[in-house]
Amino acid sequence: VLPNTGRLAGCTIFITSVSRGIGKAIALKAAKDGANVIAAKTARSHPKLPGTIYTAAEETEAAGEKALPCIVDVSDKQQISTAKFGGLDILVNSAFAISLTNTMETPMKKVNLMMSVNTRGTYLTSKACAPFLKRSKITHILNLSPPLNLNPVWFKQHCAYTIAKYGMSMCEIAVNALWPKTATHAAAMDTLGGSGVESQCRKVEIIADAAYSIFTKWWHVVS
């Protein structure tokens, strides 16, 4: 685990999926370093996916600074447009929808959801946050999305998901993207991989450390 340096003290970070997994790990890492966190999306607990923005906010405040639970669906233009961000320094686009099914087995309802959350949600949230980020001295957007790779293997088994995530990766003008080289034990992995899958994955904290390294490297450049 990377040691905290205090470089994020006083910064405000908006994370678009913080109820569990990687988003929550980044929130806790940032809070321990002194950042304030705006936590978005899940207001109600899911029977298969534990955690809400409220439980995440409680953990974040226990770890460090203030946390604001904010019910914002990144696929909803009205909710994004009316969100009151105030001061904002860093945006983390971590919200995603996933269906690892091939073309014939993927209903359009799921295709629409993945395009709406992954690609459109990242684009819309970044656009809405841009006016506030421009006022910061350490402006940063981090998308949790993969490098563009046109190897057919990434399209063969789950074409719709790959297109949606690559669309997210292409929202990268003055933006960084972060993606693990191996499986990470986020909440979705329990649903996709079943019992014991955690033994095949690395912990989400490794992604939080990588995100923190990106944030603080940028801080060093502009400070």
Residues with a catalytic annotation lie at: 161
Give me the torsion for CA of 214, 215, 219, 220, rounded to 10°.
Answer: -30
Chain mean position to CA 156: 25
Distances (CA, A) of 180 to 52, 64, 101, 210: 24, 26, 21, 9
Question: Whole-angstrom Cα distance, residue 94 to residue 215?
Answer: 15
Distance CA 10, CA 37 (A): 10
DSSP string, 203-220: -THHHHHHHHHHHHHHHH
d(CA 209, CA 167): 25
Enumerate helices (H) and strands (E) in the chain, giving the number of each. Answer: 9, 6
Please list, in sequence order, all residues whose beta carbon lies within 8 angstroms of the beta carbon of residue 79, skipping any fewer than 6 positions away.
71, 72, 73
